[in-house]
Amino acid sequence: MLLRIARTVCATSLRYLALVVTVAAVLTATPPAGAQPISVSPEDIPPVASGPRPPIVPGCPPNAVPVTLTPSVLSSHSRHYIDRPKITWGQISVSRAGWYDIYDESPSDSGFLQRNEQSLLYVTNRVNPEGKPATANCGEYWAIPDMDNVRPATDFVYAGTFWLEAGSNDIAMAPLCAVVRAGFCTGLENIEDPLSHCATVSTTDNSWQNSAHLHHSTICLVPNGSARPPRRPAGFRSPASFSQSFTGMSDGDILPGWASTVGLDTFPRSAAARFRVRDDNGNMVFGTANSGTAPIATFDLAGDRVWEAPFWRNYEFSGRMKFTDSGGAAGVTFLSSLPDSSFYYGLKTDSSERAFHFWAQGTSISGGRISTGVRPAPNTWYHFKIQAIDEGPRTQLRARVWREGSSEPNGWQAEAFDDTLSRVRTGSFGVWGGVNAPGEKLYDDLQVSPLP
């Protein structure tokens, strides 16, 4: 996705109506008097306003549209640094579809210890699921420069020109260092200050360097170009892809790339709490014998894969699981924000409901059929298949479970949805070990595939 280095930006004047948006999580802009939402359908990309954008502007124009901040559980996605280089995101609504130049205040206003705030911005919606801007300087994306905390805090930095749909759009930001460490856009790395290098990690305090965040920042949306959408990318598929069996591994191995947490904690636990490779009668599987408070292992979309995180949606998660004690439990999680915050959906069996069923953490399930009706027995493998689909106004969940050796059901045993403001749209996947559940919890043949 990151293949081309394109144009740079030089200064011109700002002559557009602007929308000022304070982003802490989910925002709703109040439309100007008389404005009406418009319906649009995908067609060819019209030309946006010609000429480069001003790279820095001293605040948004005075004729900005007022906004109403809507609180959201996503506010804990506040900021992420080089030690946890994840995505920070929220949602933004506009009353009229069109191209918008986006200016962001956060590179200027976020603390003198944050040495490198170079980042990439994505705005995703139904006609632009890849979140690409109209112009690019880092492959097919726009890299936001670092202001080195020398600009006034009220300065706004050009962050790209994006298509916004009428209604809700997802907006996300990732540190550029994750892309640089993957070998892309290395010429854009800030190398003026040794502490701002993407390879730099302080031995004493790495919490305030190489950051990117939207929390408590102000964004300025400048209308630009025709109110017609771009062509929907042909054949775009989520990068959500994973496949792993544990054959050839050794009993006790700890898998790289997985973060173990317990309960509602949002920080990785010590080795004692981790899921490990376990020997199940000669078959190597993944699991834990931890009988504490809800041990969870999550495939961690950090480091060099961080730029993928906004696109881990609309996928199918499958595998098999079992528990060994009659009082035990087992389950899986999906669309998960762990280990950085505790928002996800899951499919589990536990002491309160023995049949495999959906549950939600940090949000809720609004309706539908949450139970599969399949009541598992101990020491028996059960296959599962889950689909998680972002339908715009709601997140759709589907699941079926079947005992090993039996036929896979044709239909979905459980179909539910979440249409609340706090619904989760993107995220990783993981395995769950129950609350005070004795015995082993084991998992195998885990696979994630993107849906069309």
Q: What is the pLDDT of residues 260-319, one digit of tens each?
A: 887 655 445 554 457 899 999 999 999 998 877 778 888 887 655 666 777 788 999 999
* Domain presence at residue 130: yes
Q: Can you tell me the mean pLDDT for 369-383?
A: 97
Residue 100's pLDDT band (cuts 50, 70, 90):
confident
The CA distance from 311 to 406, in Å, is 34
- 259 and 155 in a common domain: no
- 174 and 274 in a common domain: no
3-state helix, strand, coil in the chain (%, to 5): 5, 35, 55
Residue 251 has pLDDT above 90, yes or no: yes
* Domain presence at residue 2: no
pLDDT, residue 2, reads 32
Picking from 386, 336, 393, the residue whose alpha carbon sits closest to that of residue 363 is: 336
**Which tokens is 336 given?**
């998960």
Q: Which of residues 177, 197, 224 is at a domain's end? A: 224
* Domain presence at residue 4: no
69 contact partners, CB below 8 Å, separation of at least 6: 22, 24, 27, 28
* Domain presence at residue 429: yes
Contact 432, 346 (CB under 8 A): yes
- 253 and 195 in a common domain: no
Residue 76 has pLDDT above 60, yes or no: no
- Residues spanned by the domain of 288: 242-450
The CA distance from 379 to 391, in Å, is 37
* Domain presence at residue 233: no
Residue 37 has pLDDT above 60, yes or no: no
- 408 and 268 in a common domain: yes
Q: Which of residues 193, 224, 255 is at a domain's end? A: 224
- 93 and 202 in a common domain: yes
Looking up tokens 């459980």, which residue turns up? 414
- 186 and 50 in a common domain: yes
pLDDT, residue 343, reads 86
Percent of the chain predicted with pLDDT > 70: 66
CATH number, domain containing residue 246: 2.60.120.560
Picking from 135, 127, 121, the residue whose alpha carbon sits closest to that of residue 165 is: 127
**Cα separations in angstroms, 214 against 73, 104, 128, 299, 387:** 15, 9, 21, 24, 30
Q: Which of 60-64, 375-379, 415-419 has the lowest mean pLDDT?
A: 60-64
pLDDT, residue 61, reads 61
Query: Strands, E, within 275-355: which ranges?
Result: 276-280, 283-288, 295-299, 315-323, 330-336, 344-349
Helix ranges (DSSP H) in 298-419: none
Strands 98-104 and 217-224: antiparallel
- pLDDT one-digit tens code per residue, 178-208: 778 777 888 888 777 666 777 765 545 544 4
- 293 and 147 in a common domain: no
Count: domains in the chain: 2
**Cα separations in angstroms, 13 against 9, 47, 54, 134, 216:** 12, 19, 7, 19, 26
Q: Give pTM, 2 decimals.
A: 0.71
Residue 240 has pLDDT above 90, yes or no: no
Fill in the DSSP letter of residue 62: T
pLDDT, residue 191, reads 72
* Domain presence at residue 328: yes
**Which tokens is 115 given?**
């040495």
Contact 310, 351 (CB under 8 A): no
The C-alpha angle 139, 232, 221, rounded to 5 degrees, equals: 65
pLDDT, residue 377, reads 95
- 272 and 302 in a common domain: yes
- 262 and 205 in a common domain: no
Residue 382's pLDDT band (cuts 50, 70, 90):
very high
The CA distance from 335 to 345, in Å, is 6
* Domain presence at residue 296: yes
How far is it between the farthest Cα atoms of the chain? 71
Residue 13 half-sphere exposure toward CB, CA atoms < 13 A? 1
Contact 313, 444 (CB under 8 A): no
Residue 5 has pLDDT above 60, yes or no: no
The per-residue pLDDT of the chain, averaged, comes to 74
- 377 and 351 in a common domain: yes
Q: Can you tell me the mean pLDDT for 436-445?
A: 91
270 contact partners, CB below 8 Å, separation of at least 6: none
Contact 349, 329 (CB under 8 A): yes
Distance of CA 261 to the CA centre of its chain: 18
Q: Can you tell me the mean pLDDT for 54-81?
A: 50
- 268 and 185 in a common domain: no
Fill in the DSSP letter of residue 177: H
Distance of CA 125 to the CA centre of its chain: 14
- 259 and 142 in a common domain: no
* Domain presence at residue 89: yes
Q: Which of residues 195, 224, 253 is at a domain's end? A: 224
- pLDDT one-digit tens code per residue, 394-434: 999 999 999 999 999 999 999 999 998 788 888 899 999 88
